[in-house]
Structure 1
Amino acid sequence: MSWIKTIPFEQATGKLRRLYNRVTGPDNNVDNIMMAHSLRPHSMEGHMALYKNVLHHSANQIPKWFLEVLGVWVSSLNRCGYCVEHHFSGLQRLLADPERGGAIRAAIEARTPEDAPLDAAQIEAMGYARKLTEAPADMVEADVQALRDAGWDDGEILEINQVCAYFSYANRTVLGLGCSTDGDVLGLSPNNSDNPEDWGHR
């Protein structure tokens, strides 16, 4: 599950148990990325608050399926199979078009997002995500202007930026602690976007 000690749901007490109760999926399943925080519940609380507000909030204007595409792309660039598998499953559920989802994944795996069945603005966002992930210190104002020119407004650009930044954080959490998908239920997410406090995975 991970390279450090973790506390399973059945043994959790106090604040950790309360947080587990908020993030569980079917049969009290807790994703390994969350369980990796179990020795420091406050860091799990911070992680979930960031995740929920960046990716699963009703105030976002970009469709959640495309935010998941960005997450899968960033995770693939970071070679984080855990997040690729989790979020590709979520992407497929949200998109409800297995053929299109498969074509998007094939383009991601080939490192040719321009070949994905996405519109020009979305492909521009994929380019921004790639540069931010692979060469963040090389970002310049022109990279943001290119997103504007493609049709994104500044609020949407912030959403793109935050999703890319969040996934690099999550990827490093997983890769640095050796999280595996063993025992996880893939594709679940906190889908009640209207309530930032609802972290339940369904």
Structure 2
Amino acid sequence: MAWIETVPYEDASGRLKQLYDRVKGPDNNVDNIMMMHSLRPHTMEGHMAIYKYVLHHSANTLPKWFLEAIGTFVSYLNECNYCFEHHYVGMKRNLADDPRSAEIRRAIVAGDIQSAPLDVQQKAAMLYAYELTKNAGAMREDHVKALRNVGFDDGEILEINQVTAYFSYANRTVLGLGCSTEGDIIGLSPNNSKDPTDWSHTQIS
């Protein structure tokens, strides 16, 4: 499951057990990406806070399925199969359109995001995510202006930026520590967007 020691749910105690209880899903399942933090629970707390606020917060205005689509795309670009599979399922569940979800996945895997069933705005956001992920040092103000030009306001641009940045962090946590999907329930997420303190993982959108 990992290249470093991790503490399973049944062996956890103290602060780690408290955090596991906050993030667990059905049957006390804790996503492996969270278990990567078990030797330093404070880093799990930081990870979950930014994940919840960036991707699953009621103050976001972009559709959750599209934020998940950005995360799926970034994860594929970073060759992080763990996050790609988890968040593709999250995107699919929130979009509630299986054929369209499959076409978005096909376009991502084919490296042809322009063929995805996305509108002009959404494709522009994906292009921004691509550039920030693959060519971060070459980012210029024009990349942001391009998003404004297709109708995104600056708050929405911030959402796109933060989801893109978060997934590169999560991908590197997974890839750098050998995290696998073994034992995970694919696609669980903290779906109670109205309560920022509720980190419990479910399959309900």
Task: Tell me if both proteins adopt one fold, taking TM over 0.5 as the criterion.
Answer: yes
- Which secondary structure state, in structure 2, belongs to the residue aligned with residue 124 of structure 1? helix
- Which secondary structure state, in structure 2, belongs to the residue aligned with residue 19 of structure 1? helix
| Partner in structure 2 of residue 153 of structure 1 | 153
Matched, 1:134 2:134: yes
- Which secondary structure state, in structure 2, belongs to the residue aligned with residue 38 of structure 1? coil
Letter in 2 for 1:125: A
- Which secondary structure state, in structure 2, belongs to the residue aligned with residue 4 of structure 1? coil
Separation of aligned partners in 1, 2:90 and 2:61? 18
The CA deviation at 1:198 is 0.2
| Partner in structure 2 of residue 21 of structure 1 | 21
Deviations along 1:59-101, whole A, 9 cap, x unmatched? 0000000000000000000000000000001111111111000
The CA deviation at 1:179 is 0.2
- Which secondary structure state, in structure 2, belongs to the residue aligned with residue 16 of structure 1? helix
Separation of aligned partners in 1, 2:91 and 2:186? 11
Separation of aligned partners in 2, 1:19 and 1:4? 19
Separation of aligned partners in 2, 1:159 and 1:39? 31
| Partner in structure 1 of residue 2 of structure 2 | 2
Separation of aligned partners in 2, 1:161 and 1:54? 10
The CA deviation at 1:2 is 0.7
Matched, 1:81 2:77: no
Letter in 1 for 2:139: M
1:1-202 equivalent positions in 2, closer than 5 A = 1-202=1-202
Separation of aligned partners in 1, 2:127 and 2:169? 19
Separation of aligned partners in 2, 1:102 and 1:194? 29
- Which secondary structure state, in structure 1, belongs to the residue aligned with residue 117 of structure 2? coil
Letter in 2 for 1:76: Y
> What is the TM-score of this pair, normalised by structure 1?
1.00
Separation of aligned partners in 1, 2:111 and 2:144? 21
Q: Tell me the percent identity.
A: 65
Size of the aligned set, in residue pairs, is 202
The CA deviation at 1:150 is 0.7
The CA deviation at 1:166 is 0.1
CA RMSD, aligned part only? 0.4
The CA deviation at 1:135 is 0.5
Which ranges of structure 1 fall in alignment gaps of 5 or more residues?
Answer: none
Separation of aligned partners in 1, 2:89 and 2:170? 17
> What is the TM-score of this pair, normalised by structure 2?
0.98
Letter in 1 for 2:167: F
Letter in 2 for 1:174: V
Deviations along 1:2-50, whole A, 9 cap, x unmatched? 1000000000000000000000000000000000000000000000000
